Amino acid sequence: MSIDYKAEIERLKKDLDVTVVAHYYQRDEVFEMADITGDSLELARKCKADENPWVVFCGVGFMGQSVKVIAPEKRVLMPKIACCAMARMIDGSYFDDSVNYMVEHGIAKEDILPITYINSDASVKAKVGEMGGYVCTSSNAFKIIEKGLETGKKILFVPDRCLGQNFAIKMGLKSCVIGEGECDPKEADVICFNGFCSVHQLFTVDDIEFYRNKYPGIKIAVHPECDPAVVQAADFAGSTSQLIKYVNELDPEQKVAIGTEYNLVNRMRQKNTYVLSSTKPECPTMNETTLEDLYNTLKSIEDNKPINEIHVDEHTVKYANLALERMLAIK
């Protein structure tokens, strides 16, 4: 007999002290089952405030890890321990190499303030925390960089070169990318690691021109993980929640093309809303989680044999927590 996953998930949620969490990029059928939804910043804040001892997190690895770091007493399970491709581009040793690069180019270690995008492993967040740095998300990067600049130090921004450059441009700061052309840390305010999101790289200035030619007057809204040339050409750039708000506040007759992950854009799609790409910009790892995976994970709690539990060692929790809490303290 086949299992009615939706009905079983509802039953398990009632029977267990569990909160199901989903990022906006999850498949619709998984997203609909969640008690808590949001973008990265909202999820971090809401999970911290949530009181259930069990969290089942539908998203990518760094998100589940972040909950464990913020609330180590919670048991955090992930239906799929799927990894964000950008987060995989940097580990502790690449982070150390970036710090060394700056030191070799005349910046003392004490004069470096690292900021890591939340899309990074807990081990990278811990290194950032140990150096007095911050985590940021695409919602609050402006405020966090502003806060970092108050220290008078050089900002080392990891791992997303696009986010780092986009906010530097917005704030009128000089930036450079390690390994890309001349990158002299003495000449720049924000020194970026050379990581990127393969999904958001799919959007191009040609796509923008295509839509503007086809629908004169159309608005273009993109995520700041897109290339700086795309962000500069767009009408609006913002995090997932900021994009949703922007589109909701437009006149219903206003056409808009959106450059971010497909599941989210598809959910927002109305008659005047388009995906800014001729290909389907799905995040492959966000798409891995299925209803069956969610059911199996909840059932494993009921059966007292939890699967896919997130563990983070004590040292990493201690220092990654510093970097995350410094971010959460900034309103």
Report whether 226 contacts 162 (CB < 8 A).
yes
Contact flag: residue 289 with ligand 13P (CB under 6 A): no
Residue 138, interface with ligand 13P (CB under 6 A)? yes
**Site residues for ligand SF4 per CB under 6 A:** 60, 84-86, 119, 197, 199, 225, 261, 283, 285-286
Query: Of 27-35, 134-142, 182-190, 302-310, which segment contacts ligand 13P by CB under 6 A?
Result: 134-142
Closest approach, Cβ 286 to ligand 13P, in A, equals 8
Q: How many residues bind ligand 13P (CB under 6 A)?
A: 10
C-beta of 61: minimal distance to ligand 13P in Å?
A: 11
Contact 235, 33 (CB under 8 A): no
Please report how close the Cβ of residue 275 comes to ligand 13P at its closest, in angstroms: 15
Q: Which helix (H) or strand (E) holds 122?
A: helix 122-130
| Angle 5-11-13 from CA coordinates, rounded to 5° | 100
Secondary structure of residue 158 in the 3-state scheme: strand
Subset of residues 302 to 321 that bind ligand 13P, contact rule: CB under 6 A: none
What the block records as the tokens of 223 is: 């995520």
Are 191 and 157 contacting, i.e. CB atoms less than 8 angstroms apart? yes
Answer with the entry of ligand 13P, ligand SF4, none that 240 interacts with (C-beta below 5 to 8 A by kind): ligand 13P
Out of ligand SF4, ligand 13P, none, what residue 39 binds, judged by CB under 5 to 8 A for its kind, is ligand 13P
Residue 29 one-letter amino acid: E
Check binding of 197 to ligand 13P (CB under 6 A).
yes
85 binds, among ligand SF4, ligand 13P, none (CB under 5 to 8 A by kind): ligand SF4
Q: How many CA atoms lie within 13 A of 178 on its CB side?
A: 27
- The count of other CB atoms within 10 Å of the CB of residue 60 is 28
| 120 near ligand 13P (CB under 6 A) | no
Tell me how far apart the terminal alpha carbons of the chain are, to the nearest angstrom.
51
